[in-house]
A and B are shown apart, each in its own frame.
Chain A
C-alpha cells in the first residue's frame, strides 16, 4: 500500500514536470543575419544618419533596457527608462528632432511669444489620442495642473515649473489653488502659458515628459489604476505601449495609427526586454535576438574595434573639483597657480581613448558638445572654444610659481573618486600623470561608494574630487549655474563676482537677448576655466553600442528621453 503511495508521488512529480515543461509561449526563433554587406563606414559618428536604403517589408525591432519601467504616468516619471517610453508613446507641444532641435509636435506651428518673453501661445494641431478622441488644450492644462499639485507627488512637476511657470512655486507648496497655474485653454485648440520670468529654453522644455498632455476624463475614470499597465494609458505619440503588465520585464511598442504623423513612422513593432547583465545583452545581440546592445566596462574595450560599434556622446561632463576651504582652513588649492598647474598637467586624449575606451571624449569645457545650440542652431562649443588644454611645460612653471607663493616645496593632495573599476583605473592614471609632471606632488587616492562621496562633498571634506554633472534641461545654464558663489553644488568655496554677475545677467537683462546671453555664457566659462581653473574638466561621457547595420535612423537626445524611435527603420535585414 505504502509503496503505491510512493509511486503515486513520483508519478505526480513527473506529471508536474511535464505540465511545467508545456508552459510558456512558443515564439518563432529568428536568426539574425550576421552580415549583409551593407556596413556603413560612417556609423561611428555621433548623430544618426538618414540612409538611402529602402526600408524592408518587415519593420520589427528588438531592443533591451537595463531596468524595468517604474512608471509611465508623465507626472510621476523620473527615471531614464520611463522618460524613454513616454517620449515614444506620447508627445508634448514640441519634440526634439533627430538633430536635437525642438520642433512643433502637438503644436501645429511655432509658438507665438510675447515681446517680454512671458507669454507663450500655442496652437494645437488636429491630433488624436489612441482611443480616437481629439487632443485638446484642456488635456495640457489638466496634465500641468496635475503635475504641480503637491498631492500628485510629481518629482519633476515643481522641479521644472517652479520659478518659471506663473504661480508654480506657491501651488507646489500648497499655498495656492492649482487652477492659478500659468496655463489656460483659450479655446479647444489654443493654449496660453504665462511665465514668471523669461525662460530662453522654454520651448525645448516642452519636449520634456512632464509637460505632456493627459486626458482628464480617462485619468479620473481609471483612478488609482491609471498608468499601472499598458491598458490603463492613452497614447498620442508615434507608438502605443502594449503587453506591459506594470512590473514586468518586457513590453512591446506598436505603431500608433492614430498618430498625426503616422505616415512617417516606419517601424511597426518594437519588442523590448529587460536585460540587466550587459554581457548577456551582447550575447543576445550576437545571436540576432537584439538589434542593439550597450557595451560597458570591459566589453567596451573588447569590442571597440568591431565594425558594428556605434559611438554616442552623452551630455554628462566630468571634472576635478578643487576644494579651496577644508575644515575652515584654506587648502593649497586656494592658490590659482596650483589649480591651473594640475588642470594642465594630465593628458586627456589618452584617458578617453585608452583608459576609458567607452566612447568618452576629452573635455576642454564644462558645457558639453552636441548639447546646446544658439539661435542659428550653432553648437555652443563653437562659440566658446577650448579651455585648459594639456601643456606640461606651462604646468611645470605654474606649479613652481604656486609652490613658491605657498612657501613650500612639496604638497600631498588627496583625490576623491568612485569605487567602480573604471573610476579606479582612471584615478591611477591621474596619480601617475600628476606625480610625473608636477615635481614634489604626492597624490593619495580615496575611492569610496557614490553615497559616501556625496556625503564628503556636502561636508566639503576633500582636496580634489572627481565629480560629474548631467543636465536637467537643454541650456548652458544647467551647467554654469553650478559654480555661482554658494551654489548648492559649488561645495568647494569657489567665488567670483564677475562670474556671478554674468550668470545673474543671463537670467535677467539678457534673458531676451539670445546672442548676448550666449556670449555671457562663453565669458563665464572662460573665467571659470582659463582664468581661475576653479574646476578642471576631464571628459565628456560617451557610450558605445553594438548596432546592427540594418538598424537605421535612431535619434538619440541630450536631455529628457534618450531615444526617439519615430524615424527609425530597418533596411537590408533580409
Chain B
C-alpha cells in the first residue's frame, strides 16, 4: 500500500509537470501580449516593464524561470492586478468557490443517493418515477438556470434568502450551493438506482434474503456499498469541477470566487493568473482522483490496489 501510494505521488508530480509545460507553451500562442493593456506606455517604459515581468526573454528562458519559481511555490505576479502575487489572488478567491462546491457536493450526493436507493427499492412505483424525473431535470437543465430560478423566487420574490453577494454569512451560500447541487444530485440518483437494481438481483443478496437478514440491513450493508463504486469513479472529477468554481453561478450570485476570475484572466492575457489557476485546478483534480482510487479499497475490499498484497 505504501509503495503504491508512493508511486502514485511520483506520477502525480510528473502529471503536474506535463500540465504546467503544456499550459505554458499553449499560452504563448494566445494572440496579444499582456502588455496590450499598457497601450499608453511609451517604448522606453514598455521595455522596462517587459523586463520587469521577464517577458522580454525568449520563451524557453521564460519557461525555465517559471518552472524554477513554481518549484518554490511562487506562481508569479499578476498583470491585471498590478504588482500582486497570484498566490494571494488564488488564496483570497478560492475560499468562496470551495465552500459552495463542497456544500453542493455533500448535499447533492447525499440527497441523490437517498433518492436513487428509494427508486431502486421501490422500482416502478411513484417514488421511482418521481426520482427519475428529478434526475432527468437535474441532468438536462444547466445549473445557471436553477441559479436564476432560485434567485428569482426564493430571494427576489419571497425574500427568504439573500439575492447575492458574499456578506451574509452562511445564508449567502445556500442558493448558489443548491443550484450547483442539482448536477451531482441527478448524477448520484441515476447511478445508484441502476447499480442498486443490478446488485439487488445478484446471488449474494438472494442469499442474504434467504438467511433472513432484514430488508434495511440488506439494502445498506450489502447492496449500497457495491452500488457505490461506479458513482465514486465519476464523482471525483465532478467534485473537482465544483470546488474549483463555476463561472456562471458565481456571476449570477456575485460571489467573489475563482471561477469567474479564471475566465476574465484569459480575456486580458494575464499569463501568470492563467497559469496559476490552471495549475491549481489540475492539482486539485489529480489529488481528488488519487483519493478516489484509495477510496475504492475502502468501499470494496475486493479491489486490491497493489497486486493484492498490502
List A residues at the B interface (Cβ < 8 Å). 2-3, 5-6, 9, 13-14, 16-17, 20-27, 29, 64, 68, 70-71, 73, 76, 78, 150-151, 153-156, 158-159, 162, 172-174, 224, 227-228, 245-250, 271, 273-277, 279-281, 283-284, 286-287, 289
Are the CB atoms of A25 and B169 closer together than 8 Å?
yes
With A21-B170, A25-B167, A280-B252 already in contact, the answer to whether A150 and B48 are too (CB < 8 A) is yes
A517 vs B186: C-alpha distance when bound (angstroms)? 71
Q: Which has the most chain A C-beta neighbours within 10 Å: B107, B167, B254, B301?
A: B254
B254–A277 touching, CB < 8 Å: yes
**CA gap between A70 and B89 in the complex, in Å:** 11
Q: For the complex, what is the distance from the CA of A227 to the CA of B38, rounded to whole Å?
A: 19
Question: Could you tell me the distance between the alpha carbons of A257 and B172 in the complex, rounded to whole angstroms?
Answer: 33
Q: Give which listed residue, B93, B102, B252, contacts A277 with CB less than 8 A.
A: B252
By the criterion CB–CB under 8 Å, are A287 and B163 in contact?
yes
Given A25-B169, A173-B42, A280-B253, residue A247 in contact with residue B78 (CB < 8 A): yes
Tell me whether B167 and A153 are in contact (CB under 8 A). no
The residue from B40, B43, B155, B167 contacting A287, defined by CB atoms under 8 A apart: B155
Known: A24-B172, A24-B173, A284-B165. A3 touches B106 (CB 8 A): no
Contact of B254 among A2, A9, A173, A276 (CB under 8 A): A276
B225 within 8 A of A: yes
A29 to B169, CA, bound (A): 10
Q: List 5 A-B contacts (CB under 8 A).
A: A3-B221, A24-B166, A27-B169, A29-B171, A276-B260
Which of A17, A29, A247, A274 sits near B89, CB closer than 8 Å?
Answer: A247
Given known A-B contacts A155-B40, A283-B156, A17 and B106 have beta carbons under 8 A apart: yes
Report the bound CA distance from A403 to B191 in whole Å: 72
Contact B164 A283 (CB under 8 A): yes
Name A28's closest neighbour in chain B (CB-CB): B168
In B77-105, which residues have CB < 8 Å from any A CB? 78, 80-84, 88-89, 92-93, 95, 99, 102-103
Write the B28-48 contact mask toward A (1 if CB under 8 angstroms, else 0). 000000000111111111001
Docked pose: A289 CA to B165 CA in angstroms: 9
Closest B residue, CB atoms, query A248: B92
Which residues of the other chain, B, contact A287 by a CB distance below 8 angstroms? 155-156, 159, 162-163
By the criterion CB–CB under 8 Å, are B45 and A20 in contact?
no
Q: Give the one of A159, A224, A280 with max B CB within 10 A.
A: A280
B14 in contact (CB, < 8 A): no
Q: Mark B134-160, 1 if CB is under 8 A from A, else 0.
A: 000000000000000001100110010
Q: Report B-chain residues with C-beta under 8 Å of the C-beta of A154.
A: 45
Q: Are B254 and A280 in contact (CB under 8 A)?
A: yes
Q: List the B residue with the shortest CB-CB distance to A13.
A: B106
Contacts of A279 in B (CB 8 A): 252
- The contact size tier of chain B is 35 or more
* Selected contact of A280 from candidates B102, B159, B164, B299, CB within 8 Å: B164
User: A24 near B170 (CB under 8 angstroms)?
Assistant: yes
Contact (Cβ within 8 A) A23 B81:
no
- Say yes or no: A16-B106 contact (C-beta < 8 A), given A249-B256, A277-B251: yes
**CA–CA, A17 and B81, complex, Å:** 32
By beta carbon, the residue of chain A nearest B89 is A247
Q: Which of B260-308 contact A (CB under 8 A)?
A: 260, 295, 298-299, 301
Residue in contact with B163 in the complex, picked from A155, A274, A283, CB distance below 8 Å: A283
A2 and B260 contact, CB distance less than 8 A: no
Cα distance A273–B225 in the bound complex, in angstroms = 46
Q: How far is the CB of B263 from chain A (nearest CB, A)?
A: 10
The verdict on B49 contacting chain A, using a C-beta distance below 8 Å, is yes
B52 within 8 A of A: yes
Are the CB atoms of A250 and B166 closer together than 8 Å? yes
Q: A246 contacts B163, CB within 8 Å?
A: no
B42 close to A172 (CB less than 8 A): yes
A76 to B49, CA, bound (A): 12
Report Cα–Cα, A245/B43, bound state, in Å: 32
* A70 and B83 alpha carbons, distance in the complex (Å): 9
Q: Is the CB of B256 within 8 A of A248?
A: yes
CB distance from B277 to the nearest CB of A (A): 12
Task: Known contacts A153-B52, A248-B256; decide if A9 and B298 are in contact (CB<8 Å).
Answer: yes
B165 touching A228, Cβ below 8 Å: no
Residues of A within 8 A of B99 (CB): 20, 23-24
Contact A247 B49 (CB under 8 A): no
**Contact call A6/B88, Cβ cutoff below 8 A:** no
CA distance A24 to B43 in the complex (A): 47
A72: min CB distance to chain B, Å? 10
Q: How far is the CA of A281 from the CA of B164 in the complex (A)?
A: 9
Smallest CB–CB gap between A22 and chain B, Å?
7
Closest 4 CB pairs of A and B: A249-B256, A155-B40, A71-B82, A153-B49
- Asked whether B167 lies within 8 Å of A156 as measured between CB atoms, the reply is no
A73 touches B298 (CB 8 A): no
B residues 234-273 in Cβ contact with A at 8 Å: 251-254, 256, 260
* Chain B residues closer than 8 Å to A247, beta-carbon distance: 78, 81, 84, 88-89, 92-93
Q: Are A273 and B165 in contact (CB under 8 A)?
A: yes
**CB contact under 8 A between A286 and B103, given known A172-B42, A277-B251:** no
Considering the chains assembled together, what is the distance between the CA atoms of A247 and B83 in angstroms? 10
Q: A20-B102, A24-B170, A280-B251 are in contact. Are A153 and B38 (CB under 8 A)?
A: yes
Closest A residue to B152 by beta carbon equals A283
A155 nearest CB neighbor, chain B only: B40
Are the C-beta atoms of A172 and B163 separated by less than 8 Å? Answer: no
- Whether the Cβ atoms of B301 and A2 lie closer than 8 Å is yes
Contact present for A286 and B156 (CB under 8 Å): yes
For A281, list chain B residues within 8 Å (CB). Answer: 254
Cβ–Cβ contact A172 & B45, under 8 A? yes
Q: Is the CB of A70 within 8 A of B254?
A: no
**Contact of B298 (CB < 8 Å), options: A2, A173, A274:** A2
Task: Give the distance in Å from the alpha carbon of A158 to the alpha carbon of B256 in the complex.
Answer: 34
Residues of A within 8 Å of B88, CB to CB, are 245-247
CB <8 Å contact, B165 and A174: no
Q: Is the CB of B82 within 8 A of A73?
A: yes
Q: How far is the CA of A73 from the CA of B170 in the complex (A)?
A: 34
Which A residue sits closest to B298, measured CB to CB?
A: A5
Q: CA of A71 to CA of B80 in the docked complex: distance in angstroms? A: 9
Neighbouring B residues of A276 by C-beta, 8 Å: 251, 254, 260
A27 close to B167 (CB less than 8 A):
yes
C-alpha spacing A134/B252, complex, angstroms: 45
Query: Whose C-beta in chain B lies nearest to the C-beta of A247?
Result: B89
B42: chain A residues at CB < 8 Å are 150, 158, 162, 172-173
Additional A-B contacts beyond A25-B168, A277-B252 (12; CB < 8 A): A2-B301, A22-B170, A24-B170, A27-B169, A70-B80, A155-B39, A247-B81, A275-B164, A280-B163, A283-B163, A284-B254, A287-B156
Which residues of the other chain, B, contact A76 by a CB distance below 8 angstroms?
82-83
- Give the distance in Å from the alpha carbon of A59 to the alpha carbon of B164 in the complex: 23
What residues on A are CB-neighbors of B260 within 8 Å?
Answer: 276
Q: In this complex, what residue of A is CB-closest to B32?
A: A451
Q: How far is the CB of A223 from chain B (nearest CB, A)?
A: 11
A283 to B159, CA, bound (A): 11
Residue of B37, B44, B173 near A174 (CB, 8 A) is B44
Contact between B163 and A158, CB atoms less than 8 A apart:
no
| B102-119 near A? 1/0 per residue, CB < 8 Å | 110011000000000000
Q: Which A residues lie within 8 Å of B256 (CB)? A: 248-250, 274
Q: With both chains docked as a complex, state the minimum distance between the C-beta of B205 and any C-beta of chain A, in angstroms.
A: 17
Nearest Cβ distance between residue A430 and chain B, in whole angstroms?
29
Contact A26 B162 (CB under 8 A): no
B44 touches A150 (CB 8 A): yes
Give Cα A2 to B298, complex, Å: 7
On chain B, the residues within 8 Å of A2 by CB distance are: 298, 301
| B44 neighbours in A (Cβ, 8 Å) | 150, 172-174
Interface pair B102/A17, CB less than 8 Å apart: yes
Contacts of B102 in A (CB 8 A): 16-17, 20
* Complex alpha-carbon distance, A21 and B252, angstroms: 21
Q: How near does chain B come to A560, taking the closest CB pair, in angstroms?
A: 14
Contact B83 A273 (CB under 8 A): no
